[in-house]
Structure 1
Amino acid sequence: MKVFKFGGASVNSIERIQNLPNILSAYNGEKLVIIISAMGKTTNALEKVTESFFAGNKDEALALFEVIKQQHITTAKYLLVTHFNDCLAKLSDFFTEVEWLLHDKPVREYDYYYDQVVCIGELLSTVIVSHYLNEAGVANTWLDVRDIIRTDDNFRDAGIDWAYTEGRAKAVFGNWLYGNADGGTNIYITQGFIGSTDENESTTLGREGSDYTAAIFANLLNAESQTIWKDVEGVMSADPKQFPDATFIDELSFDEVIEMAYYGAQVIHPKTIKPLQNKGIPLHVKCFLDSSLPGTVISSKRVKNLPPIVIIKQNQALMHLHSQDFSFVGEQPMSDLYELFGKIKLKPNLIQTGAISIQLCLDDREEKLNQLAAAASNEFDVQVEKGLSLLTIRHFTNELLHKMTEGKTIVLLQQTRETVQVLY
Structure 2
Amino acid sequence: MRIFKFGGASVKDASGVRNVCRVLQTVGYDDTGIVVSAMGKTTNALEEIIKKYLAQDHRYIDLIDKLESEHVSIIEELENACDGEDVDRVARFRESGIKKEISTIFKSLTEELLRNKSKSYSFLYDQVVSHGELMSTKIVAAYLNSCGIGLQWKDARELIKTDQKYRDAAVDWEKSERLVQQHCSDGLFITQGFIASDVNGFTTTLGREGSDYTAAILAYCLKAQSVTIWKDVPGVLNADPRVFENTVLLNQIPYNEAIELAFYGASVIHPKTLQPLQGKKIPLYVKSFISPEDPGTVITDTATIEPYIPCYIVRKDMVFLKISSRDFSFIGENNISDIFQELSEHKMQVGLLQNSAISFSICIEDKYAKLNELLNDLKTRYQISHVTGVSLYTVRHYDETALEFIEEGKEVLLKQRAQETLQLIVME
Query: For residues 198 and 23 of structure 2, what CA distance do their matches in structure 1 show?
Result: 34
Identity across matched positions, percent: 39
Instruction: Return 404-413 or 211-220, whichever deviates more.
Output: 404-413
Please say which of residues 363-372 and 199-208 is displaced more in the overlay.
Answer: 363-372
Q: Structure 1: how far apart are the matches of 2:367 and 2:342?
A: 15
Aligned to 1:273: 274
Q: Over residues 191-237 of structure 1, what are the superposed CA-to-partner deviations in whole Å (9 max), with x where a residue is unaligned?
A: 11222333444333333322221111111110011111111222211
1:99 is aligned to 2:101: no
Matched, 1:299 2:300: yes
Q: Structure 1 residues 423 and 70, CA, compared in 2 at 3 Å: closer, same or farther?
A: farther
Q: Deviations over 1:284-338 (max 9, x none)?
A: 1221111111222221111355122122234544555554665533223434555
Are 1:151 and 1:158, in contact at CA under 8 Å, matched by a contact in 2?
yes
Indicate conservation of the 8 Å contact 1:284/1:298, yes or no: yes
Displacement after TM superposition at 1:2 (Å): 0.5
* Pairwise CA distance, 1:406: 3.9
| Conserved 8 A contact 1:3-1:227 | yes
1:230 corresponds to: 231
Q: Which residue of 2 aligns with 1:203?
A: 204
Provide Cα deviations, 1:135-165, integer angstroms capped at 9, x if missing partner: 1111111122122222334343332222222
Amino acid across the alignment from 1:39? M
Q: Which residue of 2 aligns with 1:75?
A: 74
2:357 aligns with 355
Shift of 1:72: 1.3
**Cα RMSD over matched residues?**
3.3
Tell whether the 8 Å contact from 1:314 to 1:389 is kept in structure 2 after alignment.
Answer: yes
Matches of 1:245 and 1:381 in 2, distance apart? 43
Give the distance between the partners of 2:117 and 2:408, measured in 1 at CA.
47
> Could you tell me which residue of structure 2 aligns to residue 182 of structure 1?
none
Report matched runs for 1:235-246 at 5 Å: 235-246=236-247
Asked whether the equivalents of residues 233 and 293 of structure 1 are also in contact (C-alpha less than 8 Å), the reply is: yes
Q: Map 1:106-145 to 2 at 5 A.
A: 108=119, 110-145=121-156
The alignment covers a number of residue pairs equal to 413
Q: Distance in 1 between matches of 2:180 and 2:321?
A: 43
Greater shift in the superposed pair: 278-287 or 355-364: 355-364
Counterparts in 2 of 1:362 and 1:104: CA distance versus 1, 3 Å: farther
SS at match of 1:58: coil
Provide structure 2 residue ranges, at least 5 long, that are not aligned to the other structure.
Answer: 80-90
Give the distance between the partners of 1:315 and 1:159, measured in 2 at CA.
31
d(CA) in 2 for partners of 1:353, 1:250: 37
Q: How far did residue 96 of structure 1 move? A: 3.3
Distance in 2 (alpha carbons) for counterparts of 1:201 and 1:388: 43
Shift of residue 100 of structure 1? Answer: 3.8
Deviation at 1:31, TM superposition (A): 0.6
1:356 Cα deviation after fit: 4.3
Given the alignment, which residue of 170, 176, 181 partners 1:165? 176
For 2:389 and 2:321, the matched residues in 1 are separated by: 12
Whole-angstrom CA distance in 2 between matches of 1:145 and 1:369: 39
Supply the distance in 2 between the matched residues of 1:348 and 1:252 (Cα, whole angstroms).
25
In the alignment, structure 1 residue 257 sits paired with structure 2 residue 258: yes
In the alignment, the residues of structure 2 paired with residue 90 and residue 300 of structure 1 have an alpha-carbon distance, to the nearest angstrom, of 43
Which of 419, 422, 425 matches 1:423? 425
Mapping 1:280-319, distance limit 5 Å? 280-303=281-304, 306-318=308-320
1:58, 1:102 within 8 Å by CA — same for their partners in 2?
A: no
| Displacement of 1:385 | 5.6
What SS does the aligned partner of 1:268 have? coil
**Counterpart of 1:366?**
368
Deviation at 1:62, TM superposition (A): 3.6
Residues 1:19 and 2:23 are matched in the alignment: no
Q: Would the alpha carbon gap of residues 171 and 347 (structure 1) be closer, same or farther in structure 2, given more than 3 Å must change? A: farther
Select 1:392's aligned residue among 391, 394, 404. Answer: 394
Secondary structure of the residue aligned to 1:235 is: coil
Asked if 2 retains the 8 angstrom alpha-carbon contact of 1:58 and 1:103, the reply is: no
Q: Could you tell me how far apart the structure 2 residues matched to 1:74 and 1:220 are?
A: 36
- SS of the equivalent of 1:399 reads helix
Deviations 1:354-411 (A, max 9, x none): 4344444444332776887788678656777654443222122333344334444545
Q: Displacement of 1:86 after TM fit? A: 2.6
8 Å CA contact retained: 1:235, 1:285? yes
Aligned to 1:37: 37
Asked whether the equivalents of residues 61 and 102 of structure 1 are also in contact (C-alpha less than 8 Å), the reply is: no
Counterpart CA distance in 1 for 2:267 and 2:400 is 24
Quick one: structure 1 residues 61 and 308, their matched pair in 2 at CA, closer, same or farther if it must change by over 3 Å?
farther
The change in CA–CA distance for 1:161 and 1:246 in structure 2 (over 3 A counts) is same
Distance 2:127 2:112 in 1: 8
Counterparts of 1:343 and 1:168, CA distance in 2:
37
8 Å CA contact 2:27–2:293 kept in 1: the answer is no
Secondary structure at 2:43 match in 1:
helix
Which deviates further from its counterpart, 118-127 or 61-70?
61-70
